[in-house]
Every structure is written in C-alpha cells, then in structure tokens.
Chains A and B, each alone.
Chain A
Amino acid sequence: MYQYFYDLTGNTIIATLIVAVFPLVNVLLVALIGVYLERKVSAWIQDRIGPNRTGPLGLFQTVADFLKMLQKEDATSTEIDSKLYNIAPVLVFTGSFAAYAAIPFSSKLIGSEADVGIFYVLAISSLVVGGILMAGWASNNKYSMLGAMRSAAQIISYEIPTAIIVLSIVMFTGTLSLDKISDMQTASFWNWNIFGGAELGLTKFLMIPFMFIGFLIIFISTLAEVNRTPFDIPEAESELVAGYFTEYCGMKWAMFMLSEYGNMFAVSAIVSILFFGGYHSPIGYLGNSIGVEWLIPFEQAFWFLAKGWFFILVQMWLRWTLPRLRVDQLMSLCWKYLIPYAFVNLIIIGIISLL
C-alpha cells in the first residue's frame, strides 16, 4: 500500500500520511459502531430495546450524538490548570493512535515496518498514562484526581503481565515484528500460536496448554489496561461520576472516548496477532483458489477486522456480565496471580521452544 502511494505521489512523507489515514478511519469507525453496539449489546443482555429512534434500528444514534457534541458549550471551570487541561486529550489520543503505526492491517497495509514492532507498541501506549494523570491533576476535581490515580496504578500494574506474555511469544517466534509474527501463522488455523504455532511434532502439543494460559493472562490484563469492566474502578460511574474525564465536555470529552475505543481495538488486534494469526485467514484464501492476486490483501484486511471485532464483542459481553472488582482484589489479582503465573509460563515456554 505504501509502495503504491509512493509510486503514485513520488514523495515518502505524503505516501506515509495517506497510509496513516486508514488507521484513523478505522479508529473513527470503531468509535462510531462501537458506541452503538455497546448500547445495543447491553440492551439485548438486559432484555431492553436500546436506541431505536434515530434511523432504522437506531443506527444513526452515534452520528447524532457526535453532531450534538460538536455544538456543546465548553463549560470548563476557571480554577483548572488550563495548559495541562488542554494538552491531556492530545496526549491520550496520540498515545492510542501511534500504536497503530506498527500494527499490520494486511500484508500490504502497515504503517511502519520497524523491526521493534511490539516493543514499540508497549512503549508508546505508556503515553496514555501520562495523559490520564495530566487530565486528572489539571481538572482540580476530586473525582478526576481519584480516577486518574487509580487508573495510572491499574494500567502500570497490568502492563507487566502483558509484557511478560509478549516476551514469551517473542521467545517462541524469535522476532519482535508484528508483521513477521503474523506471517508465521499462515495457511490454516492449526498454525496459530495458540495451537502451538507452525511447529511440528511433540513441541507443538507440549506448547498448546501453556499458550492457552498465556492467552488468558494477556486477555485479562489487556482488559484491565483499557479500563474495561470488570476492571473499571477508575471510571466507576456509581462512585466517581466519570473518573479522570469528569471535567471535560464536548469534543474534548469525545477525544477521550475516541482514544478509549481506539485502545480497545488496538489491544484486540494485538491479542489476535500474537495468538490468532493476525491478518491471516483460518481457512485459506479465495484469491488463491480462483487465481486473483489482488484479492488477497482485501481478504486479509477482512479477517483482521473480523478478529478485532470479535474480541471487542467479547469485551462488551464481559462488561455486561461481570461485576466490578474491588481495588485490593484488583491489585492482588495482578501481583499475586497473573505475574507469578506469567513468569512460570515464560520459563516453561522458553524450555519447550529450546527443545
């Protein structure tokens, strides 16, 4: 894709900018469809109807919400720290969007093919923590401050199990590039990392149970990193109003929402790349069987989005099923269960992949 636009425009910077539009459109679509689906899914689970007035089945509800938000007055307090207050949404959105630079949407559509891939994603997502702390501090509001502190503690704690499981996948595959990790899991779903990767014989079958444990740990900890229920004490509606963005309104609030949904898709994409073959189809390509080469990247993009949306739907399903954890339960789950298990898992995967 980058090469195509480079040939078209003859300028590397313009070509990269055009490539960067695709993840942005993806984030906007995830937010638009995600908010609508969140309300519909919650309605189905709780036996309600959900939004049904704006357009057929309420499909334009989020568009209407967006137009309303654009016209909202920015009713901010005079007692805020206005510099930090205005920088915070920029930082939070940048942190969540910049992660998309290394995520391959298909074998042709990837922002940057830097070899550090997943390491860069882990590093750049930490910007979000800075933005959240800034927002909480600058708001001069008790709910924001409490929410920001809780959120920062939670995100940094759960970053460690995530990083350890990523580390075990890196030990197994021997590369950091998300593109190469996806490419190793091609051809069939039996080659996915969760089924022991493309190895053969005994190694593969020894690997399967530990890969399942690894998947469970990384799924739980990414769930906590994007502040989703059951780990949503930073923005627990019943006690903290809205957490760190209580003082924000209109488009500035929408930026936080956008980055939250962007993050949801990003972690789903990363889990699907690490364990479920990324953009590769589980059943082979139509383009290969009928001999149409250009169809393959589109099929790959379809499978990638399908896997990402599948995990987003699982996250929504969990949100309306499980109750919220307490702070001490949250911390002991991370430090006393996930991290020791992840460490043991890391060592065992290291031994098995050495065989």
Chain B
Amino acid sequence: MLTEFGKILIFIIFAIVFVTITLFLYKLIRPNRPTHEKQMVYECGENPEGSPWVKFNIRFYVVALIFLIFDVEVVLLFPWALTYKEFGVYGFIVGLIFLIVLGLGMAYEWRKGDLEWARPEPKPPKLDEILNPKTEIQNSN
C-alpha cells in the first residue's frame, strides 16, 4: 500500500521520466551538424571575451543570508499557526513575542542599510587630507 508521500514520490519520478523520454526522442529526431561557429558561446555574434565565472556582487549573498533567516523563521511559525487557537490568547502571545524579536532583527538590518540594493560609497578619511587640509583647495583653483 502506498502512503500519501509515496504518491508524491511517484509524481516526481513521473516528471523526471517524462522529461528524460522527451529529450531522448528529441536526440533521435534532431540533426547534428556542428560547426565551429555553432559550438561557440553565444555573445550577440561577437567572439566571447573572458570567462563568465567571475566574482559576483556581494549583495546577492547578503540577500540569500537574510532570506535564510526569514525562511527558517517562517518554517518555525507553521506549526504554531496550525495550533495556536487551542491555547487561546496565551498561544497567540507566545507567537507574537517571536514575531516581535524578528521584527527587531528586520529593523536592525534596515537601519544598517542591508536592505538597500545600491549602498552609498564609503568615504574613508585619507591621511593626506588630514595632514594637509588646505592642499585640496589649492589644487582645485
């Protein structure tokens, strides 16, 4: 006898088999006449310049981190949301405290500017300017 999660597994296997069979049929039907131009990476007709596997903007990483925090918290809230009515006001307040702590974390991130996509350029003080504060004015006439 199959459980309900067994049925889900069958759905997943069904999808994988469907794609595999379709791509296999496609492989049988399609022509295969490679040339040098066809085997190049597409870059709007130009010869590809440099590798795409480069260092990426750190913002994506920060967004992924914040997402991780919130997602874990949402997962923790699901069991609470299912059962809080059984405990009445007490059950709700327990969840509310959790939500408030989260809200504080969110406010902290917001204040720190981690939710900003384009952060303002940091301006570290330069030693020259501190030692000779008037030189810059003379240079700029």
Q: Which A residues lie at the B interface, using CB under 8 A?
A: 12-13, 16-17, 19-20, 23-24, 70-80, 86, 89-90, 93-94, 97-98, 100-102, 111-115, 119-120, 137, 139-145, 149, 152-153, 156-157, 159-160, 163-164, 167-168, 170-171, 174-176, 241, 246-247, 250-252, 255, 327-328, 331-332, 335-336, 339-340, 343, 346-347, 350-351, 353-354
Residues in B8-65 with C-beta less than 8 Å from chain A: 8, 10-12, 14-16, 18-20, 22-23, 25-27, 29-34, 38-44, 48, 51-53, 56-57, 59-60, 63-64
Bound Cα distance A331, B84 (Å)? 32
Min CB gap B10→A, angstroms? 5
Asked if B88 CB lies within 8 Å of chain A CBs, one says yes
Bound Cα distance A75, B8 (Å)? 35
Bound Cα distance A94, B48 (Å)? 32
Given known contacts A12-B2, A24-B18, A335-B115, is B8 in contact with A163 (CB within 8 Å)? no
Asked if B110 CB lies within 8 Å of chain A CBs, one says yes
**Which of B52, B63, B81 touches A142 (beta carbons < 8 Å)?**
B52
Q: Which of B70-78, B120-128, B129-137 contacts A (4 or more CB under 8 A)?
A: B70-78
How big is chain B's contact interface, by range? 35 or more
Q: Is the CB of B31 within 8 A of A71?
A: yes
Q: Is the CB of A145 within 8 A of B53?
A: yes
Min CB gap B17→A, angstroms? 10
Min CB gap B87→A, angstroms? 10
Given known contacts A144-B52, A255-B22, is B99 in contact with A343 (CB within 8 Å)? yes
Q: Is the CB of A167 within 8 A of B78?
A: yes
**Which of A89, A100, A156, A351 touches B63 (beta carbons < 8 Å)?**
A156
Bound Cα distance A328, B8 (Å)? 38
Give the chain A neighbours of B53 by CB distance below 8 A.
Answer: 137, 140, 145
Q: Is the CB of B10 within 8 A of A17?
A: yes
**Which of A89, A112, A149, A159 touches B8 (beta carbons < 8 Å)?**
A112
**Which of B39, B43, B82, B103 touches A78 (beta carbons < 8 Å)?**
B39
Min CB gap B42→A, angstroms? 6
Given known contacts A16-B2, A71-B31, A331-B63, is B39 in contact with A77 (CB within 8 Å)? yes
Bound Cα distance A207, B53 (Å)? 50
Give the chain A neighbours of B4 by CB distance below 8 A.
Answer: 112-115
**Which of A12, A94, A119, A142 touches B1 (beta carbons < 8 Å)?**
A12
Report 17 cross-chain contacts, Cβ distance below 8 Å, ordered by A residue: A20-B10, A70-B29, A74-B26, A80-B41, A86-B23, A101-B7, A101-B11, A112-B11, A114-B5, A119-B78, A143-B43, A153-B59, A251-B26, A328-B117, A335-B66, A340-B106, A350-B95
Q: Is the CB of B78 within 8 A of A157?
A: no
Given known contacts A164-B74, A328-B117, is B23 in contact with A73 (CB within 8 Å)? no
Give the chain B neighbours of A141 by CB distance below 8 A.
Answer: 41-43, 48, 52
Q: Is the CB of A354 within 8 A of B89?
A: yes
Q: Is the CB of B56 within 8 A of A149?
A: yes
Bound Cα distance A19, B11 (Å)? 9
Give the chain A neighbours of B118 by CB distance below 8 A.
Answer: 328
Bound Cα distance A16, B26 (Å)? 27
Q: What 10 pairs across the A-B complex have the smallest Cβ distances?
A: A328-B117, A251-B26, A114-B4, A101-B11, A97-B15, A112-B7, A12-B2, A75-B38, A142-B52, A94-B15
Give the chain B neighbours of A72 by CB distance below 8 A.
Answer: 30
**Which of A23, A86, A94, A175 touches B82 (beta carbons < 8 Å)?**
A175
Bound Cα distance A346, B95 (Å)? 11
Q: Is the CB of B95 within 8 A of A149?
A: no
Give the chain A neighbours of B81 by CB distance below 8 A.
Answer: 167-168, 170-171, 350
Given contacts A143-B43, A353-B85, 17 further A-B contacts (CB under 8 A): A20-B10, A20-B11, A20-B14, A97-B11, A98-B11, A137-B53, A145-B53, A153-B59, A153-B60, A164-B74, A174-B82, A241-B42, A250-B30, A251-B23, A251-B26, A255-B22, A331-B117
Min CB gap B50→A, angstroms? 8
Among B2, B51, B59, B96, max chain A CB count under 10 A is at B2
Bound Cα distance A343, B77 (Å)? 12
Give the chain A neighbours of B60 by CB distance below 8 A.
Answer: 149, 152-153
Bound Cα distance A167, B43 (Å)? 44
Give the chain A neighbours of B66 by CB distance below 8 A.
Answer: 335
Bound Cα distance A354, B80 (Å)? 13
Give the chain A neighbours of B64 by CB distance below 8 A.
Answer: 152-153, 156
